[in-house]
């Protein structure tokens, strides 16, 4: 089985440019999560979706960040305009299903990440 797929693996851009990160969750998983990891703040949840619907975006830093999930097999995280402080590793993760009571549904599987550097 293919795991979570993220692209690109590395992105270097200049301040002010638009950045789009992409994620393909594990087939059959209904929940998708976007995280940001930095040395200072560790792993931070930005937003998560259940059945393609955004459930909680309270971790999104500001209006420059937006995320979409147009279908069950694809999600994007966009930063526009990008700033140097956005430099981090961005992870996408997916989990099996969301029903409220099923044991194991919280288990999240991470992609390899996108390492973003904004100059």
Partner 1 sequence: GQQLNQSPQSMFIQEGEDVSMNCTSSSIFNTWLWYKQDPGEGPVLLIALYKAGELTSNGRLTAQFGITRKDSFLNISASIPSDVGIYFCAGGRIQGAQKLVFGQGTRLTINP
Q: Which residues bind partner 1 (CB under 8 A)?
A: 4, 31, 42-45, 48, 50, 55-56, 59, 91, 93, 95, 98, 100-113, 115
**φ, ψ of residue 3 in degrees (nearest 5):** -85, -165
Dist CA 45 CA 58 (whole Å): 9
Q: Which is nearer to partner 1, 14 or 106 (CB)?
A: 106
Q: Which is nearer to partner 1, 70 or 104 (CB)?
A: 104
Q: Minimum CB separation from partner 1 for residue 104, in Å?
A: 7
26 Cβ neighbours under 8 A, 6+ residues apart: 1, 2, 3, 4, 94, 109
Dist CA 21 CA 8 (whole Å): 7
Q: Which is nearer to partner 1, 45 or 81 (CB)?
A: 45
């Amino acid at each position: 089985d293919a795991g979570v797929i993220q692209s690109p693996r590395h992105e270097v851009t200049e301040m002010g440019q638009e950045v789009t990160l992409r994620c393909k969750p594990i087939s059959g998983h209904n929940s998708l999560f976007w995280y940001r990891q930095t040395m200072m703040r560790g792993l931070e949840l930005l937003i998560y979706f259940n059945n393609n619907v955004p459930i909680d975006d309270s971790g999104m830093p500001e209006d420059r960040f937006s995320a979409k999930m147009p279908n069950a097999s694809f999600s994007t995280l966009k930063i526009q305009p990008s700033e140097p402080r956005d430099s981090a590793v961005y992870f996408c993760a997916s989990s099996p299903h969301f029903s409220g009571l099923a044991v194991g549904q919280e288990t999240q599987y991470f992609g390899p990440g996108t390492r973003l550097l904004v100059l």
